[in-house]
Chains A and B, each alone.
Chain A
Amino acid sequence: MNDRITAQRTADSLEEPVSEAANLAHKLGLDPYRVNYWIVDYDEMNELIAYDGFQTRYPHWRWGMKYDRQQKQNQFLGGKAFEIVNNDDPAHAFLQESNSLADQKAVITHVEAHADFFAHNQWFGLFTGGGTPDAAAMLARHADAIAAFMRDPDIEREAVESWIDTIQCLETNIDRHRAFESASAEEVPGIEDDDIADRLDELDLGADVVSEVFDDDWLEAQREEEPSGAIPPEPEPDLLAFLFRHGMAYDEESEKAVEMEEWQRTVLELLRREAYYFAAQRMTKVMNEGWAAYWESMMMGEENFAGTDEFLSYADHQARVLASPGLNPYKLGKELWEYIENSVNRREVCERLLRVEGITWRNFHDVVDFETVAAALAPDPVIDRIADDGLAAFDPDDPRIDSKALAAAKDGEIDVDRYPWKLLTYEGMAERHYSLAKPQNSGFLQRTSREELERISRYLFDDSRYGDVDEALADVEYTAGWDRLFEIRESHNDVTFLDEFLSQEFVDDNDYFTYEYTQATGDYRATSTDYEDVKKKLLLQFTNFGKPTITVQDGNYNNRNELLLAHHYNGVMLDVEQARQTLERVFDLWGRPVNLKTIVKELDEHDLEVAKRREREPDPDERGKLIRYDGESFTVEDLPWSEVEGIAATDVDYDTKPDEWLA
């Protein structure tokens, strides 16, 4: 820890909650990185948040901006309980001194779940390559290197700062699906196509060989093929890597592209590395926050980790976090995890019930007595209400019972009233917190649709049949739901998570809807509650960090070493103004003119008038455009459709406006 923040290791009062939270997390099947907790004051907390959870980052005004905003926001919201944890092994988490004990406990449980996610989600592994991120040290090294450039009398501080600005504009333009590799480590194919004739000269071949084999016709043929944009061979989404390898700086004085200075290349490389480090967090925001909220609520609420007297304060905190306005990734994530848990458990129960003689998907709702089922699924009272004076009732051979802990408890080494969960195994915990037995999920099983039942029964084997409902339910695996959650948290990211698990039932239960800006009314209107629409809009928001996909198409565009970028149009147009501003920045990294191919929607004024009068939505024209920036000015050129066909996606339609609204 550096001394800028006089962080203090966990205060005495938190030592027990910290170690017990980790124990509880393990009981629940989580496997977090070890977490070091630090106590910081209010200002330090704001500072950490501004610096993305780390104490040492490179000097830049943007951190100052975030700090300023953070402070204003907190003044406005009032002392919200803070948590910040960074993805590292061991993870470092920061607790705010002024928080109540209940808030601290909530934060700790939340943090343990994050640490589990960091350790097991494969997208985090893309950066570490299976090792540990060692993030704090990496970021501190970067900070030192960049600060040294700024101090260097030969380099203007403002130049470094503006170089950083430029790179930050493109920080999401990386290949999020690719494991991180240093841009400089890869083979660098030369972009300047040396004249082949020159190269042949260098080979020092005999004149007859040259005239026989490499005759003028051949050379001509090579020239035609060669500059046809072999670089990059495929459209390249990692703009930062491409610019690192092939980009140049622009020299104002000579008005020419020049090789990047060493410091420029270094800064570019370092910031790209940081972009990859933070990419995993950006790609799993909904899942990760939902995961933490889910387990926090499990530990604090269900397992009463807060203690009865602290619970009210906790519940209040939780309500505030989840009640934030707009689309709240915490809430969406938590609801979806809960929905998945319920669905998997329901499926498990349905599979059992459909194997009972006499129960089919057709008569399911008529034959099954859901009250009986609910009673049968309720956790065994033995593990549901554990008390110190009931230890005798436990069977050490019961797989749900932690026999070692039971022995210890009998010896008085465990405070059973305070930590009843210590007596249970993962199986026991799964039964104790079985989702379908919870009051808020009481109607869930009964709401299983006919279609779903039919689907389940279609894949059932007939080999094991149950004589009655009780027999079937006795076989229900209580861990099915959790087991599945753990699998999902390993392999998914937000996009796949939403794509796979969002269903109409979920959308209906949680009141999600889509909205669009409507031209006719000049405001935003709700457009759909169909889950496919909601999913589309969510995917748009979370795919590629919620940004449009931009790739490098050609590093030798028009055979003039110009850069050609393409916006892969998916029906949603670019913010053209921002795109232009970004192109100006790209120019700084390319040194020569830059071009962007895109498709924009244009509305004819007359159509708009007509549409308004009829209260319908006008149908915009999609047109190809080439925006070119040469370092001084922009030109915009219309492109024929054939030129942009390749960048237009035809299989997606993110527009959720009902068809009948269209003019």
Chain B
Amino acid sequence: MGLREDLERYREVGEERREDLAEFIQYGDLGGSGPESVRVPVKIIDLPGFEYDKRDQGGVGQGDGDTPQPGQPVGQPEPGDEEGEAGEEGGEHEYYEMDPEEFAQELDERLGLDLEPKGKRVVEETEGDYTDVSRTGPNSTLDFERMFKEGLKRKLAMDFDREYVREALRVDGMGPDSVFEWARGKHLPVSRAWLDDEYTKLAASERTRWSSIETMERNVDEEDTATRIRKEGVDHVPFRREDERYRYPEIVEEHEKNVVVVNIRDVSGSMREQKRELVERTFTPLDWYLTGKYDRAEFVYIAHDAEAWRVEREEFFGIRSGGGTKISSAYELAAAILDEEYPWNDWNRYVFAAGDSENSSNDTEEHVIPQMEAIPANLHAYVETQPSGNAINATHAEEVERHFHGSDNVAVAYVNGPGDVVDAIETILNTEDDNE
């Protein structure tokens, strides 16, 4: 018993209590998170109880001299003063903060994904290791080690046991000519000139030490080069210009793993609150995931009804308009923006669109599908959010799916409720995952 034990147990229990990632994506409060940091709630008052619905309960506040008038917003209710008295309850939960990298990693684990982002744009050329060589260059880059080795090899090839050959000259009846032939036969790299020299140096009495070459060979051992070098050392290594090599660094192209994600959302009149929320729930984790996977992620937000316009993220999920729907307007704008700002050679591209599948007649077949085909991208996806089942004229998703069936870079996912979000994300990301 005691504090230490209870604290330890708390830490263990606490670890287990982080909200499951899938649960968080589908039902959690995504609003507390920013693009740089994903906040997964960790419940600390974690034991449930029969409680009032907090929003339905309302409450009492106290003004400081100026009481807010009915209708004035009052901010989030704050928990009362906590003095740790019995029966007190504190803040509802803490957050487990993870950066998008961790988020992506966890989602990979959760969904069994293994998306390897491609490095696309050359961002810089750097000098790599000095692994390339040339025959000229500054002295400081001369590969002396190599030159020494080559010289040594040459020396070894030219070397022979001089004493041994001299003994051959001492054989009765052998002169430089016959010794030269003998040496050749034994692959001793001796020159004729050297033999002549040595022969003249010998006194006449010495020239008849051995009666025959066979006798000499029997009595004198030839010492091989390696043994001799070990005994005498290398006194001279012949350096040659042709052995000179100058090292220079390899040029490495750094490819940045960069990505542009185009989020397209139908904001027309039929896109009610619930549909809108489902889009946000699906797109936001995808954005986090790709941010976490790539070195650099940029986002383009396009809202459309019958026309399309580019918006900032802050506005993107909140926009409502009254107009009809023409999905091709968004792809037209997307194509223009991608062409202009994010060339396919330099960028990984993801084009995600979402809506309730309603589109003006023939737009899907005549315009959207050709447009999708024309926009090169790692992945195209369409997310249909249709909380109340299918409407008859809502066929965009089906048409796209039928046309691109089996394609490795077009995904279609259906989200009818928060419970489908994780499946949809899995479907989308798996499509690319499989296309390697």
Contact = CB atoms under 8 A, between A and B. Distances in A.
A575 B54 contact: yes
Interface stretch (B64-72, B230-238, B354-362): B64-72
A526 B71 contact: yes
A59 B6 contact: yes
A525 B70 contact: yes
Given A59-B5, A147-B1, A285-B85, A537 B60 contact: yes
A515 B56 contact: no
Interface string A69-91: 11001000000000110000000
A493 interface: no
A266 interface: no
B14 to A, nearest CB: 7
B6 A63 contact: yes
A112 to B, nearest CB: 17
A110 B62 CA distance: 24
B3 A325 contact: no
A524 interface: yes
Given A511-B66, A515-B59, A540-B57, A61 B9 contact: yes
Contacts of B78: 325-326
Which one of B63, B65, B75, B87 has the highest number of Cβ atoms from chain A below 10 Å of its Cβ?
A: B87
Given A61-B13, A527-B70, A572 B56 contact: yes
Interface string A274-285: 000010011001
Nearest to B81: A324
A538 B51 contact: no
A516 B5 CA distance: 42
Interface in A358-393: none
A273 to B, nearest CB: 14
B34 interface: no
Nearest to B388: A605
Interface stretch (A168-176, A441-449, A483-491): A168-176
B389 interface: no
A548 B62 contact: no
Contacts of B50: 173, 547-548, 550, 567, 574, 578-579, 582
A66 B272 CA distance: 43
Given A172-B49, A573-B53, A574-B51, A326 B68 contact: no
B51 A547 contact: yes
Interface stretch (A44-52, A220-228, A251-259): A44-52
Contact of A529 (B53, B67, B76, B272): B67
A585 interface: yes
Nearest to A598: B50
Contact of B81 (A282, A326, A516): A326
B77 interface: yes
A85 to B, nearest CB: 10
A517 B58 contact: yes
Given A4-B2, A330-B81, A61 B60 contact: no
* Contact count band on B: 35 or more
Contacts, number: 228
B185 interface: no
B374 interface: no
Nearest to A326: B78
B52 A548 contact: yes
A48 B8 CA distance: 17
A173 to B, nearest CB: 7
A620 to B, nearest CB: 9
Contacts of B2: 4, 59
Interface string A489-528: 0000000000000000000001111111100010111111
Contact of B14 (A65, A281, A289): A65
A547 B3 contact: no
Interface string B28-56: 00000000000000001001111111111
A513 B80 contact: no
A656 to B, nearest CB: 6
Given A572-B56, A572-B57, A49 B84 contact: yes
A514 B6 contact: no
Given A515-B58, A548-B50, 17 more contacts: A50-B3, A61-B6, A61-B9, A69-B44, A73-B82, A147-B1, A161-B9, A168-B47, A171-B49, A289-B83, A326-B61, A328-B80, A328-B81, A524-B74, A524-B76, A573-B52, A575-B51
